[in-house]
Amino acid sequence: MKANVKGIGWVTSGGMGYGRNSDRFSMDYAILPRLTRAMVFEKPNRNFGRMDEYSRLGLAAVSQALKDAGLHEWNEKRNIGVIASTVFGCLHTDIEYYETVMPQDGILASPNLFAYTLPSSFLGEIALCYGLTGTSYIVNEQTHTGLDGLKIAMECIACQDAESMLAGVCDLGSPELLGMEERILPGAVFLVVEKIKEVEPTEYGQLTMDHNGDIRLNDKEVGDLKSLVQMCLYNLNAGK
Amino acid sequence: MNPVWIVDASTVTAFGDNLGQLWQGLMEGRTMVRPVQRFPVKGYHSNSAALIEDLVSSGNQSLIHTMVERVFEKSEKIPVDSYLITATAKSGIDNMEKLYKAGSADTRDILLSALPGIITQKFGLKREGINISAACASSTVALARAAGLIAAGMAESVAVCSLDFITEFVFSGFSALKVMSRGPSRPFDKERSGLSLGDGAVYILLMSSKRAKKENRSHLGSVIGWGIANDAAHITSPAKDGSGLILAVNKSLETAGIKHDSISAINAHGTGTVYNDLMELTAVNSIFRGRNVPVHSIKGAIGHTLGAAGGIEVAIGLKALEEQVIPPTTGFKHPEKGAAGLVSSKPKEISGNYLLTTNSGFGGINVALVLQRDTGV
């Protein structure tokens, strides 16, 4: 199973960026930037203001990836899907919502917050914003490599469900209130992967997946999504 | 493509812990939507849901553990080499509530990856499973993925398990959105006013026909088509023109390699909300172009079981194909425009080998599956 990497975008503690813009990519446990509409969109976006933080994070990273792949502008809806891995999903929003439920027997429960208490809600925002009608859903993996979404996206391309897919991770990190021990790198990172149309790989490289689900980039083994992005960016810079 | 067989199916709903009880309750047109005792409902738009009355958790654990025990109680063990795909919208959220109310709970159960973890451990599966979260279409997506893996020769055996249960968190949210019916929901009825919620769990084991024959497994039916599409129109409301659902259905028919006129019945999402049902009727009438293909919904009887809904409906769809009859749509009396001749308050005989089952959800997702009955060939 093969696919080309066509674009990469991210929002991490190191900032927001995309590959061909020569932005520096780093991912650690530091605090994520607080996203505003103006950072993500040049023009007004009526939905951004009402979104929860998790949705803003995912949408911003996808926006960067689409920009990198030259797919951010559109006139007609497109058969592109989004498969995103997450560990904590929208738990921060769940907490925020539940705190509106507890007083006064739920009379003050917020309908706007409830709409974002599904980890997949932001995929709807992405679909709406960029006219994407393809297969889109969330996977919660136990291995925490961040690669399960990419594997599914590659399968979608192999099965001719779509020619281009977005795949990546989106996590705000563990909510403090729950006192969980799980440590996950906060941030959102998305790749645009596409069906191979030309013999030569793109500047980022060519992905292959074997029968066991192991992923390689230009024949080099890939351990997790963060290292995959680093390998892609290395290839891009080496080719300049 | 390798043929994909369903070889085992079990359900837990308000009707009871087996598929036979569910089928009987549906065929009798009964509803299990009753006043809620599980949590206070004084401040909400509705006071009823189809809850499993004796559903209790143990200590700090989430209800997930109880539901998992019950759905697998009468099933054979999952083969240890199987892929595991679970599906849930909000299971585990009961432990977040518990944390607030009682001060302690097992927080590991709150993560959506808890469900595959619990099942992997229970059966000693060789590989770790994943959970799929796609709102109210979660289990339908899981089944589509399971079928795709087997059809492509990437897996021989895939276990799909899905569950969701109603907590105050979920109930209050649908109430706040003002999409709940005060009494039992009435899908496709012109006087419908919203949905009813319900508890549900489902387990479905899929195998390649080759593996199933080798192991002498029952053939309950096959999944021959699947399609997923997004409306790209709104976050909580469906596309009025049904464009996403039409796309998903067309994809599923294309995978199945059949035309729409081969479909003998449709298990619709049929939530009973004004906009969902209208959207579905628009899509069905557009795809089937005036052909009166029987349509039914089971949500007036067992409520909307959220992520588990699609899986439970597949189990019912297989039974309908086997019996060549679809259950009545409980709560349906006066047809919404476009529903006359399609939806019925009585069981309806069908004739044919293929049934279409569809689900839609928040975020604009639509999923369609084509089921084929065991024709003994």
Q: Which residue of B has its CA nearest to A51?
A: B235
CA distance linking residue A172 with residue A162, whole number of Å = 29
Place of tokens 């009825």: B189
Same-domain status, B96 and B145: yes
- Given B214, B242, B277, the domain boundary residue is B214
Establish if B127 touches chain A: CB-CB under 8 angstroms: no
CA distance linking residue B38 with residue B166, whole number of Å = 9
B194 pLDDT higher than 90: yes
**How do B221-230 and B354-361 pair as beta strands?**
unpaired
Same-domain status, B152 and B294: no
Q: Which residue of B has its CA nearest to A158?
A: B152
Same-domain status, B242 and B179: no
Type of residue at B208: S
Q: pLDDT tens across B210-222, in order?
A: 999 999 999 999 9
Two tokens, residue B18 = 């087996």
Q: What is the domain extent for residue B110?
A: 4-214
Q: CB distance B100–A211 less than 8 Å?
A: no
B377 pLDDT higher than 70: no
Q: pLDDT tens across B314-364, in order?
A: 999 999 999 999 999 999 999 999 999 999 999 999 999 999 999 999 999
Give residue B376's region: left, alpha or beta (phi > 0; psi -120 to 50).
Answer: left
**How do A164-171 and A136-141 pair as beta strands?**
unpaired
* Radius of gyration of chain B measured on its C-alpha atoms: 19
Q: pLDDT tens across B49-86, in order?
A: 999 989 999 999 999 999 999 999 988 889 999 999 99
Closest residue to A115, CB basis, from B100, B134, B235:
B235
Place A197 in a pLDDT band, splitting at 50, 70 and 90.
confident
Two tokens, residue A76 = 């007609």
Same-domain status, B42 and B177: yes
Contacts of A80 in chain B (CB under 8 A): none
Report all structural domains of chain A as residue ranges with CATH numbers, in order of start: 2-238 (3.40.47.10)
Place B290 in a pLDDT band, splitting at 50, 70 and 90.
confident
A192 pLDDT higher than 90: yes
Q: CB distance A128–B232 less than 8 Å?
A: yes
The answer to whether residue B377 is domain-embedded is no
Q: pLDDT tens across B111-131, in order?
A: 999 999 999 999 999 998 999
Same-domain status, B169 and B141: yes
The 10 Å Cβ neighbour count of residue B348 is: 18
- Given B185, B214, B243, the domain boundary residue is B214
Query: What are the E-state strand segments in B182-304?
Result: 197-198, 200-208, 221-230, 263-267, 295-296
pLDDT score, position B264: 97
* Radius of gyration of chain A measured on its C-alpha atoms: 18
Kindly give, in sequence order, each residue whose CB lies less than 8 Å from that of residue B58, ignoring residues fewer than 6 positions away.
B65, B66
A182 pLDDT higher than 70: no
DSSP output for B217-231: ----EEEEEEEEEE-
Distance between alpha carbon B135 and the CA centroid of its chain, in Å? Answer: 11
What b-and-e string marks burial along A37-57, b requiring 16 or more CB atoms within 10 Å of the CB?
A: beebeeeebebbeebbbbbbb
Same-domain status, B231 and B210: no
pLDDT score, position A181: 66
Contacts of B233 in chain A (CB under 8 A): 128
Establish if B340 touches chain A: CB-CB under 8 angstroms: no
The 10 Å Cβ neighbour count of residue A226 is: 20
Contacts of A81 in chain B (CB under 8 A): 228, 230
Closest residue to B172, CB basis, from A106, A115, A119:
A106
Place of tokens 């200590």: B59
Mean pLDDT for A54-70 is 97
Q: Which residue of B has its CA nearest to A141?
A: B130
How many domains, chain B?
Answer: 2
Place of tokens 């209130």: A177
Establish if B360 touches chain A: CB-CB under 8 angstroms: no
- Please report, for the domain that includes residue B179, its CATH number: 3.40.47.10
CA distances from A181 to A201, B45, B93, B130, B249 (A): 41, 38, 18, 20, 43
Are A157 and B86 in contact, with CB atoms under 8 Å apart?
Answer: no
Same-domain status, B44 and B190: yes
- Given B182, B214, B246, the domain boundary residue is B214
Q: pLDDT tens across B298-308, in order?
A: 999 999 999 99
CA distances from A30 to A13, B62, B142, B316 (A): 5, 31, 34, 49
The neighbouring-strand residues paired with A191 are A8, A167
**How do B263-267 and B157-164 pair as beta strands?**
unpaired
% residues pLDDT > 90 (chain B) = 91
